[in-house]
């Protein structure tokens, strides 16, 4: 099971009727069942405004599971996030989290399985949630996208295959179209809107979602706080992406390298200790926990073993990685070229790096010659500049 259940499950979120906004009851109730495999559990209950880090929220209660069933009720003023984190009989706390929207005055049914969960209800908000998640589960374009992504996980080189890229983008586009059609056909429901606000991924903007597809009452209804929070998050993301674009422009091909330093074991190591010293230097920004990074390692080791010398070197720069983990991975992967360990996040930010591995080639004077090299491109670029 992944560290964050959200990344596996893609969706546990409540939905409801606009007409129910006037209800007086503030009591939220949930009735749940668990699979045989996870019977011996209790659940920590967290309630808070953050949808990503439950450590920022206070532990509110504990639910005891008995005979594979549990129930919980709480009075609350407005829709917000609720998280359930399993505690197994031996005292182990599960790293995964069941998370969804708590809606006052509504009753939910939750089925927790070994690796996924289902949320629905007999009426109102959570019944609509069940209908929307069924649509998402049975959507042929979602299945097509997931199958294509599964192929990519098996072979990252597919990102260079035009046919695969076109097929993937077409599936994403069709998901957006079919989702929009569902929302229009169910325009008296909050379900699709709240789901997309929280999880998104269907290809249309929040502006279109809220201002065009949603009924006017939705924006100022009971989900107003959730809407504003999502819009603020989007604003921050746009500001961040603008800064990344600036950094990428400043370190584009043809630009001079920008230096950084890292401290480890009482020693300071700088990028300028390797780059700008008269050699072509292949620099790999990587981490021990990164699967694609590990997959690229043989290509880097091969380039180093073949071409190292007076004119060429390879350098690894670890990103967001504990030095001990980096060193263990170096041994496991047979990495024999120099490393800068324990680097601050600012070194990746300096180059506008948004994902790793990110492999760059610097010229003898420190000029950036290539960015984002992968696979066979690595040796092709090295041979080109070495004149081989």
Q: What is the DSSP string of 78-143?
A: S-EEEEEEEEETTSPBPS--EEEEE-TT-EEEEEE-SS-EEEE-SSHHHHHHHHHHHHHHH-HHHH
CA 225 – CA 79 distance, rounded (Å): 8
pLDDT above 80 for 349: yes
pLDDT given for residue 24 in this prediction: 57
Nearest to 16 by CA among 107, 82, 99: 107
CA 63 – CA 66 distance, rounded (Å): 10
CB neighbourhood size of 253 (10 A): 11
Chain centroid to Cα 128, Å, comes to: 26
Q: Which two tokens stand for residue 171?
A: 């599936």
pLDDT given for residue 14 in this prediction: 29
pLDDT digits (tens, 9 = 90+) for 107-130: 999 999 877 889 999 999 999 999
Cα angle 279, 280, 282 (rounded to 5 degrees) comes to 130
Q: Spell out the domains of the chain, with CATH numbers in brackets.
A: 5-134 (2.60.40.1110), 144-233 (no CATH), 261-386 (3.40.30.10)
How much is the pTM?
Answer: 0.62
pLDDT digits (tens, 9 = 90+) for 255-294: 999 999 999 999 999 999 999 999 999 999 999 999 899 9
Tell which wins on pLDDT, 254 or 95: 254
Long-range contacts, 260-266 (Cβ 8 Å, 24+): 260/343, 260/344, 260/346, 260/347, 260/350, 262/340, 262/341, 262/342, 262/343, 262/344, 262/347, 263/342, 264/323, 264/341, 264/342
What do you get for the CA distance between the two ends of the chain, in Å? 47
pLDDT digits (tens, 9 = 90+) for 150-170: 998 888 788 888 999 999 999
Tell which wins on pLDDT, 85 or 14: 85
Q: Are 16 and 95 in contact (CB under 8 A)?
A: no
Cα angle 17, 22, 25 (rounded to 5 degrees) comes to 100
Please report which confidence band the pLDDT of residue 10 belongs to, taking 50, 70 and 90 as the band edges.
very low
């Amino acid at each position: 099971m992944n560290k964050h259940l959200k990344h596996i499950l893609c969706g546990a979120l409540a939905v409801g009727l606009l007409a129910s906004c006037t209800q007086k009851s503030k009591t939220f109730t949930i009735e749940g069942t668990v699979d045989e495999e996870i019977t011996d559990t209790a659940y920590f209950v967290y309630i808070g405004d953050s949808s990503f880090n439950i450590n920022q929220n206070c532990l509110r209660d504990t639910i005891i599971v008995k005979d594979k069933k549990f129930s919980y009720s709480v009075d609350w003023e407005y829709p917000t996030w609720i998280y359930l984190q399993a505690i197994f009989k031996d005292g182990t706390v599960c790293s995964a989290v069941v998370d969804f929207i708590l809606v006052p005055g509504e009753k939910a049914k939750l089925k927790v399985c070994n690796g996924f969960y289902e949320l629905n209800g007999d009426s109102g908000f959570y019944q609509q949630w069940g209908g929307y998640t069924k649509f998402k589960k049975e959507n042929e374009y979602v299945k097509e996208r997931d199958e294509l992504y599964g192929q990519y996980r098996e072979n990252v080189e597919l990102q260079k295959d035009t046919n695969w890229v076109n097929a993937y983008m077409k599936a994403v586009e069709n998901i957006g179209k079919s989702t929009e059609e569902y929302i229009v056909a169910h325009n008296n429901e909050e379900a699709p809107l709240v789901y997309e606000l929280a999880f998104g991924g269907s290809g249309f903007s929040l502006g279109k979602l809220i201002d065009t597809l949603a009924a006017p009452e939705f924006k100022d209804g009971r989900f107003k706080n959730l809407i504003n929070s999502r819009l603020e998050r989007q604003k921050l993301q746009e500001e961040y992406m603008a800064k990344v674009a600036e950094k990428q422009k400043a370190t584009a091909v043809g630009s001079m390298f920008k230096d950084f330093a890292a401290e480890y074991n009482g020693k300071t190591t700088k990028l300028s200790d390797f780059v700008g010293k008269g050699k072509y230097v292949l620099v790999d920004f990587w981490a021990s926990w990164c699967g694609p990074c590990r997959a690229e390692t043989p290509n880097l080791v091969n380039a180093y073993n073949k071409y190292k010398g007076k004119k060429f070197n390879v350098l690894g720069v670890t990103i967001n990685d504990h030095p001990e983990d980096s060193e263990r991975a170096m041994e496991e992967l047979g990495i024999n070229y120099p490393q800068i360990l324990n680097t601050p996040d600012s070194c990746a930010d300096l180059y506008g790096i948004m994902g790793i591995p990110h492999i760059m080639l610097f010229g003898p004077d420190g000029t950036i010659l290539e960015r984002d090299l992968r696979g066979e491109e690595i040796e092709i670029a090295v041979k080109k500049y070495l004149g081989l």
